Structure formats: C-alpha cells, structure tokens
Amino acid sequence: MNRIDRTFSELREEGRAALIVFVTAGDPDLETTRELVPVLAEAGADIVELGVPHSDPIAEGPTIQAASTRALRHSTALVQILGLCQELRNETDVPIALMGYLNNLLAYGEERFVQDAASVGVDGLIVADAPYEEATVLQSACEAKGVHRILLVAPTSTPERIVAIATRSRGFVYCVSVTGVTGARDYLPSDLTALVARVRRVASAPVAVGFGISTPDQAAEIARISDGVIVGSAVVQRIGDAGSRAEALRSVRDFVSALSGAVRAARS
C-alpha cells in the first residue's frame, strides 16, 4: 500500500486529520533538508511535501519564491532531490510527495522521472501547472508505478471541474483555500467550509486544505472540516529567518510540534 494511503487510513481510525508540511528541497542546502525531514516527522508531520525549486514558480508567493532562490544558488536539481529521498528512506518512513512544475519533469523525462521517483520511495507528485487533462504520459506513468498524482482544486473551479478533479486525484485532493499564490495569511476565507464540503462530497480520496494556513489555531480550524491540513510558507519562513542550521531545525521543530498538537486536539 502507498504510504499516503496507509497514513490516511490510520488517521481515519484515530479520528483526526493529517498534518502535511511543505519545505523546499535544498533550502538553504540539501544537507539541511536531509536533517530536517526526520525532524518534521518526529515533531508530528504525517506527510512531507518537498518542493522542487524552480526559477519561475507561478503558484508561489514571496516566501517560497525566496526559498527556491536560496536552493538554486546551490544548483539544487531534480536528480539531487531524488538522491536525497533515497537517503531519507534509510531514516524515516514518513510519506513523501514532491511538488513542482512540469518543465522540470519534461527536462528530466516524464516516464524516467516517475520510475526513478518510485525506486527511491517517493509516494506522491503534485504538479502545480499541469491540469488533469494534460500530462497524460505523466499520469499513465504514475499509475503504472504506484506514485500518486495529487490534483488541485481551487475556489474558482467550476462544479464540473471539481467533480472531474476530485474523482481523478490519488492520495489526496489538494484543496486550495484562496484564489492566488501561496503565503501565510491572517485569516481564512469565510466560504472555505462550503468549498471543502463540496469537494468531499465527490472526492474519491481524502481532501486536504492548503495555502494561507499559518497558525496552530488556523490548523485546528481546518482539521475540523477536512481530512488534512497543509502548512508551507509559515514553515519555510522560519527556515529563511534562521541564522544557522541548528536554529532552523529548532524553530521548525517547535512550530510543527505546536501545529501537530492543535490538529490532534481539533476534534476532541
């Protein structure tokens, strides 16, 4: 069984939502990411998303754009990230999903990428700029190798598209909470509960909400209405603000632990 499926099955038995944490691979270097991922799992992250740094990340706000820039300064490439995933499998069994952009995969070779990703223990793939109707070669390769292609729905998605995406997504459906790019926000949209309910009614997989979640209270709010809570920019910001690797690991561990506590208590 895919690790993502197993995790959601176990959490369903526990009666709680998943905490999904995003960091950019190679931010500020690959060694920091290698040390960070096990720390995230120990602090309570149920699934880890590793962002593939990209020179033009159109779905990302300033925080994750800056993280991509830091990673690219060290020439972090997809082949190195796959090597990192292979190393991580010696230390942790936490589900890992890669999140990136189609150009990176086309340059690598779609079928070759999926084969290599599966061989090093990658469980899921999120391609922010590839609608479900496109990248059919990638989709077929993911199905053949058991790597879940996780699709996104947004507040602007039509009812017809919500049905099409929610029934095709594997692992989980990524429900984007706001129109726009990633980034921490002070409040969540008032109509988010209704959007999540619409997606959950037609989804074949669990529904996780991301974009804008930046505090334990917000994470708890999302955990009460969805199957998963995705936090990225607020974690990445702590890495960017840290003065050293040790400080980054400590700051992120404490924050993720607080998020995990809020998510675990949300339905009590």
Q: Over the stretch 36-93, which tens digit does the pLDDT of each residue have?
A: 999 999 999 999 999 999 876 565 678 888 898 999 888 899 999 999 999 999 999 9
* Homologous superfamily assigned to 3-261: Aldolase class I (3.20.20.70)
Q: State the average pLDDT over residues 218-232.
A: 96
pLDDT exceeds cutoff 90 at 135: no
173 or 130: which leads in pLDDT: 173
pLDDT exceeds cutoff 70 at 5: yes
Q: Quickly state the pLDDT bin for 132 (edges 50, 70, 90).
A: confident
Return d(Cα 70, Cα 67) in angstroms, integer. 5
pTM of the model: 0.94
- What is the number of other CB atoms lying within 10 angstroms of the CB of residue 21? 28
Predicted local confidence at residue 189, as pLDDT: 63
> Rg (Cα) of the chain, in Å, rounded?
17
Where are the domains positioned within the chain?
A: 3-261
What is the rounded average pLDDT for all residues in the chain? 92
Nearest one of 10, 28, 32 to 253, comparing CA atoms:
32
Predicted local confidence at residue 184, as pLDDT: 47
Predicted local confidence at residue 28, as pLDDT: 93
